[in-house]
Amino acid sequence: MRRICKRVGCCLFALWLAALAPLAVSAQSLEEIQAQQEKLQAENQQLQTQLDSLREDQAQKQAYLETLQEQISLVQEQILTTRENIQDLNESIGQLTLKLEASQAEVQDTIDLFKQRLGALYTAGNVSTLEILLDSKSLSDFTTRMELIDTMALRDQEIIGQLEDYMAKTQADREQLEAQKQEVASLQVTLEGKEKELAALYEENQAALGDIQGQVYATENQLQVNEEELAESERLVQEAIAAQKRAEEEAKKQAQAAAPPATVETPSGGENGSGNGDGGSGAVSPPTPSGGGSSGFDPIWPLPGVTYISDHFGGARGHKGMDIAGPWGTPIVAAADGQVIEANATDSWGYSWGYYVLIYHNGTYSTRYAHMSSVAVSTGQYVTAGTIIGYEGNTGNSFGAHLHFEVYENGTRVNPARFLL
């Protein structure tokens, strides 16, 4: 009997080892996936830092462009005003030029009139002024002729003097306007040069802003790709964990199926089973693997006493869990019975989850508890629903103390509200 039991035990142990052989491969694959996750997460941290710096540069360039645009608009307004001033000055100079030409023509007419008078006197036979006076018929006529001659001479001198004064003033005004025009024209040249300089700066910075925007777009795209790869790797992790558990359960079933009947008889002392030998029975139990769990999943609230949900599953940004916000250090409990398969208590970033715990419940469901301030369990530990596994915190990619709670169904994150609310 001992030999039989020993032989059966050896066979069962061999079957158990054979059934568990694939688990080493799964564990190795899981480690590789998790290593890839760490690599992607580290790259994401670098990309996020780069993206923050790029966005800061982008904001500065945009602000500078707005300042340049304001300066360009101001200079353009000044140029427009200067051109209007030049146009006004040109009109004023034109009017003065016309006046000056008219005065010159009037002076010329007066000179021509003098010439005509002189010509008439010459034609009359060089009659002198004295002869004109002596030819008077009476004293009264003489006086009249004398006054007329004096008046004509004075009037001619007065007209010529006025015209000369007017021409001098007009010429001075014209020269003053010409000087102003030169100054305004010089200002226009300066402003147009400044406008070109500002336009060149604007174009240069606009090109730089375009480059930064391209880098921002490329970085955001790479972050999105990495996030998708992280999500896919997480799904593979959950699948590997589920496959590992299924393999454990299958190994357990195979070992149990290979077990011999419950009783192994020993030789008896007589035909009818009577005699000195003890009739007995014995059973050999195969080694039983640890783990497993029920197929049902009915979780409890993971943050007792705190009910405020600060962010729901899904939404515009595709939130992959439920955020429950409460006081820092609030105890976090296991939502259901299961085995702790990950307990990160050393890496405060932890794939952006910070300090976190991942619990395997059965072949279908797992739960994750993220952003803890500290972890109270260790990998491989079995816990029951309500067991304190850590404390609420703000580690990882988090803004404010809260619990980020995730539920995985066959390796895919689903809405925790299906089970909790």
Q: Residue 349: give the domain boundaries.
A: 309-420
Lowest mean pLDDT among 50-54, 227-231, 341-345, 386-390: 227-231
Amino acid at 26: S
Q: Check residue 29 and give its pLDDT.
A: 64
For the record, the structure tokens of 155 come out as 């009037």
Model confidence pLDDT, tens digit, residues 355-381: 999 999 988 999 999 999 999 999 999
Average pLDDT of the chain, as a whole number: 77
Q: Is residue 335 part of a domain?
A: yes
Residue 166 lies in a domain: no
With pLDDT > 70 as the criterion, what percentage of the chain qualifies?
74
- Which among 348, 352, 390 is positioned nearest to 369, based on CA atoms? 390
Average pLDDT over residues 137-142: 71
Weakest mean pLDDT among 30-44, 195-209, 220-234, 355-369 = 30-44
5-9, 410-414, 417-421 — which is least confidently predicted?
5-9
Predicted pLDDT of residue 18: 45
pLDDT for the residue 356: 96
- pLDDT classification of 129: cutoffs 50, 70, 90: low
In this structure, what token pair is assigned to residue 274?
């009577």
177 falls within a domain: no
CATH classification at residue 415: 2.70.70.10
420/343 Cα distance (integer angstroms)? 23
Q: How many CB atoms lie within 10 A of CB 365?
A: 24
pLDDT value of residue 188: 82
Secondary structure (H, E, C), 34-72: HHHHHHHHHHHHHHHHHHHHHHHHHHHHHHHHHHHHHHH
pLDDT value at position 206? Answer: 85
Quote the CA–CA distance of 160 and 134 in Å, as a whole number.
29
Q: What is the mean pLDDT of residues 187-211?
A: 87
258-307 confidence digits (pLDDT tens): 655 433 333 333 333 333 333 333 333 223 233 333 347 999 999 999 99
212 in any annotated domain: no
Residue 388 has what pLDDT? Answer: 96
> In terms of pLDDT, which residue wins out, 404 or 228?
404
Residue 328 lies in a domain: yes
With respect to residue 377, please indicate whether it lies within any of the assigned structural domains: yes
254 token code pair: 């195979």
Tokens at 351, concatenated: 């794939």
Higher per-residue confidence, 418 vs 83: 418
Residue 325: pLDDT band with limits 50, 70, 90: very high
When mean pLDDT is compared across 138-152, 194-208, 274-288, 334-348, the lowest value belongs to 274-288
**Phi, psi angle pair for 322, to nearest 5°:** -120, 130
Number of domains in the chain: 1
Three-class SS of residue 221? Answer: helix
**330 pLDDT exceeds 90?**
yes
Tell whether 169 is covered by a domain. Answer: no
In a domain, 343, yes or no: yes
Q: Is 301 exposed, middle or buried (0-12, 13-18, 19+ CB in 10 A)?
A: middle
Mean pLDDT of 17-44: 62
Contacts 24+ apart (CB under 8 A), 344-353: 344/375, 345/374, 345/375, 348/395, 348/396, 349/41, 349/45, 349/395, 349/396, 349/397, 350/395, 350/396, 351/37, 351/38, 351/41, 351/230, 351/396, 352/41, 352/44, 352/396, 352/397, 353/396, 353/397, 353/404
Give the H or E element holding residue 383.
strand 382-383
Which 8-state DSSP code applies to residue 307?
Answer: -
| pLDDT for the residue 383 | 95
Query: 161-165, 267-271, 307-311: lowest mean pLDDT where?
Result: 267-271
Tens digits of residue pLDDT in 52-92: 899 898 899 889 888 988 888 888 888 888 888 888 888 88
- The pLDDT of residue 131: 61
129 or 46: which carries more pLDDT confidence? 46
